[in-house]
Amino acid sequence: MLLQNRVALVTGASRGIGAATAKVLAKRGALVAVSARTVSDLECLATSIREEGGQALVVPGDVLDAAQVQEMINRVVEEWGRLDILVNNAGLGTATMPVEKIPPEEWDYTVALNLKSAFLCVRTAAPVMKRQGFGRIINVSSFAGRNYSRISGPQYGAAKAGLQGFTKHMAVELGPHGVCVNAVAPSIVLTDRVKAKWEARTEGERQMILAGIPLRRLAQPEEVATVIAFLASEDASYVNGVCIDINGGSYMV
């Protein structure tokens, strides 16, 4: 129970990495607030956490709306008195396409959902964590921000690379207040959304991608969630401003 009584907020928690992270944090003792726009999915997740003996709070909202982000975090603090852990997982991949075919509005939305959302959440959570003298912020970046994306477009990679730069800046700014800010960079993770993209590829394309991964398989959401839980724990108390690659060895720096 490394996170006993810590209060966490996970965005983009309705499915995939976010849902897996919420469950892992709860199993390790955290009180977990889950956020997304689909209330029914959040309610199912919260029920699942409670059935396994954890505590969960549903705080739906749009992470691109500053007022709604403020409302979400206010609700968490009102319910549990503090906010110790913020996992910025909200985001979405794109279709692959040549740059000249990307509509400007799609570029703007992709960058906003994957990068601006983290800014709004950190901007709102930072004063709470500063007052506490403690905090853990984990931004979910991507292999695409470290190298390039095999299944999404350049707008996604640009946003995820920006998230890594934001992580480093926040680590410097918030570190003196006892707040550690880190990122994780998963490669292809078999979430429901990615499964559809994966299965749409030919067997030859799939084998070519797997050949570039020393472990010869794709990641499961829980394998990302456990690394996030580590960064949220006291075991990572001197880890600040880093991005941990979770890619089976497919990209090494």
Q: What percent of the chain has a predicted confidence (pLDDT) above 70?
A: 100
Question: What's the one-letter identity of residue 67?
Answer: A
Helix 117-132 vs helix 66-80: crossing angle, to nearest 10? 30
In the residue annotation, 156 being an active-site residue is answered as yes
The answer to whether residue 222 is domain-embedded is yes
Question: What's the one-letter identity of residue 218?
Answer: L
CB atoms within 10 A of CB 153: 21
State how far the alpha carbon of 99 is from the alpha carbons of 28, 138, 248, in Å. Answer: 43, 30, 28
- Selecting among 109, 156, 238, 251, the annotated active-site residue is 156
The answer to whether residue 1 is domain-embedded is no
Range of the domain at 116: 7-243
Taking 90 as the threshold, does the pLDDT of residue 10 lie above it? yes
Helix 154-174 vs helix 117-132: crossing angle, to nearest 10? 20
| Alpha helices by DSSP H, the chain | 16-27, 39-51, 66-80, 104-111, 117-132, 143-146, 154-174, 192-200, 203-211, 221-232
The answer to whether residue 51 is domain-embedded is yes
For residue 160, what pLDDT is reported? 97
The answer to whether residue 220 is domain-embedded is yes
The answer to whether residue 250 is domain-embedded is no
pLDDT tens per residue, range 95-125: 888 899 999 999 999 999 999 999 999 999 9
Q: How many domains does the chain have?
A: 1
The answer to whether residue 147 is domain-embedded is yes
Taking each continuous run of H as one helix and of E as one strand, the counts in the chain are 10, 7
Nearest Cα residue to 118 out of 94, 144, 93, 138: 138
pLDDT tens per residue, range 12-48: 999 999 999 999 999 999 999 999 999 999 999 999 9
**Entry pTM:** 0.95
Question: What's the one-letter identity of residue 245?
Answer: D
CATH number of the CATH domain containing 162: 3.40.50.720
